[in-house]
Chain A
Amino acid sequence: MVKRFKPSVRLTENDVTDEAIYQDRRRYLKAMGFVGASSLLAGKANAIDWFSDDDESSFKGKPLDFSVNENYRISETKTPYEKVTTYNNFFEFGTGKEDPAEYADEFNTEPWTLTVDGMVEKPFTLDHAQLLNKFELEERIYRLRCVEAWSMVIPWIGFELSALLKEAAPLSSAKYVALQTIERPEQMRGQRSRFVGGGIDYPYVEGLRLDEAMHPLALMTVGLYGKTLPPQNGAPIRLAVPWKYGFKSIKSIVRITLTDKMPPTTWNRLAPQEYGFYANVNPQVDHPRWSQASERRITRGGLFSQERIATQLFNGYSEVASLYKNMDLTRFF
């Protein structure tokens, strides 16, 4: 879906919330007890921490070298950086939305390797530096629709998953792509304890059909808002498949394996009646516990400037529809 040209989105100073204001807000929220409620029960932080600010992220993203892809540019209001980086589902760091930002500090992306193997002619492994400079990076603004019926608009930076897969030369017998998140319990509190990590069997795994993975929309993502990814958003490399619910966009990937069988996926394993393998955004197919017909868009503004918008099939990315021709999307949800 080619949209009308808009100038580059490199943020100006005006777009960024002043650091001091942001820190102030966080302190205020903590003191009120609105954030980090679970941390009161879970060790590291305690009531005394309400008045210190040791949870502030020490993360400073490195600027990336990238071009802007005009074909993937939408004019919808972007979700501000501080919301994209403080409201995350990344159960490896806890089940609360604020947990990843609070606890990802203990996560170190050095050293890092990403291996592509399985049914390929040329399996290979990339190190951290190669992830950032082996492929041409480009910025794309994607909608992100969470299965919990909220959504964001995020300027990602990355390269097409298809470019990575072509490098490995998939065998013709390969039908699926299995992706796996890192397992580092010593740095991820959710992997240390079942209660903190939502009862998930780690490592987190996801999967795509090979033709889905080869679609140009599927983006291996190394940055957002012009800089490298913060750990809570899946540093150093994650997937962005914008026509599927957010949990398909697996974070902090270490292994990509091509296979001829449909690979297991984490949420499907945990609750198969609620989360399917495909997980395409679809307003017609409700989650068993809530409606998917509409979503709340998270942008700037308080209670009275909330936007509830209709959810679109494939999250508005109608170009993927041909992948699912003749498929009953109610059955293969």
Chain B
Amino acid sequence: MTLFARPVRLTQWQLLSTKITVHVLLTGYLALLFYAGVTDNLGADPVKALIHTSGISSLKILFITLLVSPLASLLPCGDVIKLRRMLGIYAFVYALSHFLAYIAFELQFEWSQVVSEIIARPYITVGFAALIILTLLTLTSPTVIRRKMGRRWQTLHNFIFVAGFLIIVHYWWSLKGIDFTALTYAAIGLVLLLLRKNKLRRLIR
């Protein structure tokens, strides 16, 4: 294929239009999700559908984020790495929507219950911990902060794997019985880790 005969560089315009497309798709999907919920078009239980879909979507976006750097080294187009930060931030935005939907529509702003549930229910504690990690990663994502942090930035951002692991545990723990979908997500997470076995080896040493 001549297209991939040599490394492909994205032009400024191509990169920008790709980013805009991602923004439109991910913001649009989230907005549609809320809109469908408000207008009672989200199935029998719009609250559960909204919480579930935003949470699962956050995990899916996190997976795509983690796929970016292996892709950047495999594909003859390293520029895809430039999409990684925005994807990571969207994983956070969806996770935050998931949490806010839970507080607003499931617990209906019963703050005492919000606190007691986070503390007393292990699967919620685990999910909350993942949200805190994603929040820290998002807050430290601007280039200025990244430069200031130097090497510590990479150490902090390796915690995305911890967040991914916690999210899968959180999902698994919230279910009754064994679920095929949950198994699939765990398997995908494992594959994404295996893609980085060299990095993991270095970290362990």
Spell out A's residues near B (CB within 8 Å): 25, 28-29, 32, 34-35, 37-38, 41-42, 82-84, 86-87, 91, 95, 97-98, 148, 150, 193-196, 198-200, 270-271, 289-291, 296, 298, 300-306, 308
| 8 A Cβ contacts from B20-59 to A | 32-34, 36-50, 53, 56
Asked whether any CB of chain A lies closer than 8 Å to the CB of B105, the reply is yes
Asked, given contacts A291-B117, A304-B38, whether A41 binds B44 with beta carbons under 8 Å apart, the answer is no
Check if A303 sits within 8 Å of B180, measured CB to CB.
Answer: no
Interface centre among B106, B108, B179 (most CB of A within 10 A): B179
Check if A37 sits within 8 Å of B45, measured CB to CB.
Answer: no
Which of A32, A37, A194, A289 is the one whose CB lies under 8 Å from B32? A32
What mask results when residues 161 to 205 of chain B are scored 1 for a CB within 8 Å of chain A, else 0? 000000000000111111111011000000000000000000000
B36 to chain A, nearest CB (A): 7
Check if B45 sits within 8 Å of A32, measured CB to CB.
Answer: no
How many residues of B are in contact with the other chain, CB < 8 A?
A: 42
Chain A residues, CB < 8 A from B53: 34
Chain A residues, CB < 8 A from B184: 41
Asked whether any CB of chain A lies closer than 8 Å to the CB of B151, the reply is no
Check if B181 sits within 8 Å of A303, measured CB to CB.
Answer: no
B168 to chain A, nearest CB (A): 16
Asked whether any CB of chain A lies closer than 8 Å to the CB of B94, the reply is no
Spell out B's residues near A (CB within 8 Å): 32-34, 36-50, 53, 56, 105-108, 110, 113, 116-117, 121-123, 173-181, 183-184
Chain B residues, CB < 8 A from A195: 178-180, 183
Asked, given contacts A34-B53, A37-B56, whether A83 binds B177 with beta carbons under 8 Å apart, the answer is no
Check if A34 sits within 8 Å of B40, measured CB to CB.
Answer: no
B26 to chain A, nearest CB (A): 14
Q: How far is the CA of A171 from the CA of B196 in the complex (A)?
A: 67
Asked, given contacts A32-B32, A34-B36, A97-B45, whether A303 binds B50 with beta carbons under 8 Å apart, the answer is yes
Check if A289 sits within 8 Å of B178, measured CB to CB.
Answer: no
Asked, given contacts A150-B45, A289-B122, whether A32 binds B108 with beta carbons under 8 Å apart, the answer is no
Check if B180 sits within 8 Å of A300, measured CB to CB.
Answer: no
Q: How far is the CA of A87 from the CA of B45 in the complex (A)?
A: 8
In the complex formed, the residue of A with least CB distance to B29 is: A32
Chain A residues, CB < 8 A from B108: 306, 308
Check if A29 sits within 8 Å of B121, measured CB to CB.
Answer: no
Check if A25 sits within 8 Å of B178, measured CB to CB.
Answer: no
Q: How far is the CA of A95 from the CA of B45 in the complex (A)?
A: 16
Chain A residues, CB < 8 A from B47: 296, 303, 306
Which of A83, A198, A302, A304 is the one whose CB lies under 8 Å from B176? A198
Chain A residues, CB < 8 A from B33: 32, 34
Chain A residues, CB < 8 A from B34: 303
**What 7 additional pairs, Cβ within 8 angstroms, besides A28-B41, A308-B108?**
A29-B43, A37-B181, A41-B180, A84-B44, A98-B43, A303-B34, A308-B107
Chain B residues, CB < 8 A from A150: 45, 48
Q: How far is the CA of A86 from the CA of B49 in the complex (A)?
A: 13
B113 to chain A, nearest CB (A): 7
Check if B39 sits within 8 Å of A302, measured CB to CB.
Answer: yes
Q: How far is the CA of A82 from the CA of B106 in the complex (A)?
A: 22
In the complex formed, the residue of A with least CB distance to B107 is: A308
In the complex formed, the residue of A with least CB distance to B181 is: A38
Check if B37 sits within 8 Å of A289, measured CB to CB.
Answer: no
Check if A86 sits within 8 Å of B44, measured CB to CB.
Answer: yes
Q: How far is the CA of A28 from the CA of B38 in the complex (A)?
A: 15
